[in-house]
Chain A
Amino acid sequence: MKNSPEGVAKSLKETFGEDITGVRILDREEGVHEKVLQRGLWITMTRRVFHRAIQLLKSKYGQPHICCPMASKEYDDGIELIYPFTLNAGAGYMKEFTLTIAVFLPMSDLRIRTITDIIPGILFMERETREMLGVWFEDIPDERRLYTPDYLADDNFPLRNDFSDPHVKEEEIPGESK
């Protein structure tokens, strides 16, 4: 129970109370002759407890594995960062489950504390998120761009909804209407 999605959700809820703003557990059956249940825990939490929550997860359940690059949902008033972790990676047959944490950042203050001090392997993903979305990771040990070219202006973020590359010029193709 302790290392199950229910156990992790309960532990986070007990520790951080109302700062855990949403909990969903999604199960999906897999297999043909042998049926197994793939488990996934989706949690939303406030920015102020995020760093402490990751620390708690590491100390209680072992190093979370970051399985996928950080994703995002962009709204008019802010960006929701999505951290796809897994717990129990390598613990054995069907022991692993996904833990997806979403944290909302208002557009007026796109900042969040880095978690590279807890999970060093997330550094590339934080660097990519910074250059692609314009989210600032406080205390990040390496502030350089990861993918975008140096000519791209500092306030151009390619994965924002309103981004258009100033270096790309649309040309009309003869015979084709726009």
Chain B
Amino acid sequence: MKTKQTYNLNIGPTHPAFKEPVKFNFEVDGEQVVKADIDFGYTHRGIEKLAMSRNFIEVIYLLERVCGICSVSHPMAYCLAIEQAAELEVTPRAKYIRTILGELERLHSHLLWAGVAAHEIGFDTLWMYTWNIRETVMDLLEVITGNRVNYAMLTLGGVRRDITDELVPVVYEVLDYYRSLYNRVSEILMGDKSVQLRSEGVGILSHVEAVELCAVGPTARASGLSRDVRIDYPVNAYPDMTWLKPASPRDIGREPVGDVYDRIVVRTLEILQSIEIIEFCLENMPEGDIATETNSIKIINKLKKVQGEGIGRYEAPRGEVAHYDLLDNRDGPALIKVKAPTYSNAPAWVPMLSGAEIADIPIIVASIDPCIACADRMSFTKPNGDNYILTSADLHKMSVEKTREVSRTCTL
């Protein structure tokens, strides 16, 4: 009797589909994944330990380096945790500026992701298009903060730079630009037949699995969860936006199934949502100071007298970022624990990838918008010990060929 033989397939720890090194071990039957396993630890930088040797202000700017894309979100969660533990007040104007910065970050992050996802399925025109229009929001961030990434805008009790009256029309101009493009962008991302064929029914994460695995952000919302820290546990200016609802595929009349397409839908809808939030903030921005205290030494001296703990939670573009901070009469935090959204969403790869085709691995992995880096090869290992290598170009080629194949079969 002929027995069914499966193969072990390793991808990573470095691969073009990943933005940070991570290794996947797949058991495959022909072109189909039977079982998936993830191996982390190739890029652990020890930032939590390092933060424990710095003062409260220095840590803000260290934590921006946890993730270049989420360089508002991590310091935000940290500041919220410290402010909670020490009962520090944040000025009303700073709350609105923080919200605007966070939403500009979401805007550029979702456009970045759209480009990455498009590239993974061989739709390089869309990749170039989204990354080209993303430049405008990056330029705006540079005008407001002085930097394209790692903005150094937050401080404990407020922000470090104002959005002045002169800057407001510049922000509106950028928002108008994105509003004018939104229909075109959403039509391509949600309506293009080849995008649909490569993403519908692919990489499914069911509602139950998303709840059990504590998935967050667009990944959770695409599986039908109405989970969004901006609504469930709002901070900054979000409590003022009682009209805000978590984005859902239901908004376009589609019942969420938790596939890659639903994740595309949620992120696309959130581009428009971010524009609306920023407009709301500009219209309702309170006057006043941008920070309760601008002297860093005074802030540190005040925090040195505090013993306590706090948890800061913020909805980053990829999902919930949370920080736990412990204060213990020191000039810096006695303990910091950091959670990035990928930490929550990575376990969801296992059910998403089980049963998937090899050619779908790049788009499924990219669909949670992971924070993982590039690489160059993957290898198949046969049970008898023989290896053969597929280069990154091979894997990408397989994905592109699949797009072409399904495009040929679709009737436009």
Give the B-binding residues of A (Cβ under 8 A).
26, 28, 30-36, 38, 40, 63, 65-73, 82, 84, 86, 88-98, 100, 119-124, 145-149, 158-159
Q: Which residues of A contact B236 (CB under 8 A)?
A: 30
- Are B240 and A68 in contact, CB atoms less than 8 angstroms apart? no
- Are A36 and B234 in contact, CB atoms less than 8 angstroms apart? yes
- Are B346 and A124 in contact, CB atoms less than 8 angstroms apart? yes
> How many residues of chain B get a CB closer than 8 Å to chain A's CBs?
51
Given contacts A32-B96, A33-B240, contact A69 B339 (CB under 8 A): yes
Which residues B224-242 have CB closer than 8 A to chain A? 225-228, 231-240, 242
Which residues B305-349 have CB closer than 8 A to chain A? 309, 311, 313, 320, 322-324, 326, 335, 337-339, 343-344, 346-347
- Are A123 and B347 in contact, CB atoms less than 8 angstroms apart? yes
Give the A-binding residues of B (Cβ under 8 A).
40-41, 44, 46, 48-49, 84, 87, 92, 95-96, 211-215, 220, 225-228, 231-240, 242, 246, 284, 286, 309, 311, 313, 320, 322-324, 326, 335, 337-339, 343-344, 346-347
The SS class assigned to the B binding surface is mixed
B328 CB, nearest partner CB in chain A, Å: 9
Given contacts A31-B239, A120-B347, contact A68 B324 (CB under 8 A): yes
B240 contact from A26, A32, A69, A71, Cβ within 8 A? A32
Q: Which residues of A contact B44 (CB under 8 A)?
A: 147-148
- Pairs A–B under 8 Å by Cβ, sample size 27: A28-B84, A30-B234, A33-B240, A34-B239, A35-B239, A63-B211, A67-B214, A67-B320, A67-B322, A67-B339, A68-B339, A69-B338, A69-B343, A88-B232, A89-B232, A90-B225, A90-B227, A90-B246, A92-B232, A93-B242, A97-B233, A121-B347, A145-B41, A146-B40, A147-B41, A149-B41, A159-B49
Given contacts A121-B212, A149-B41, contact A89 B227 (CB under 8 A): yes
- Are B240 and A31 in contact, CB atoms less than 8 angstroms apart? yes
A82 contact from B212, B225, B324, Cβ within 8 A? B324
B239 contact from A30, A82, A121, A159, Cβ within 8 A? A30
A24 CB, nearest partner CB in chain B, Å: 10
A20 to B164, CA, bound (A): 51
A32 to B320, CA, bound (A): 22
Besides A36-B234, A94-B232, A146-B41, 10 other A-B contacts (C-beta < 8 A): A32-B240, A32-B286, A33-B284, A38-B233, A119-B214, A120-B213, A121-B212, A121-B213, A159-B48, A159-B49
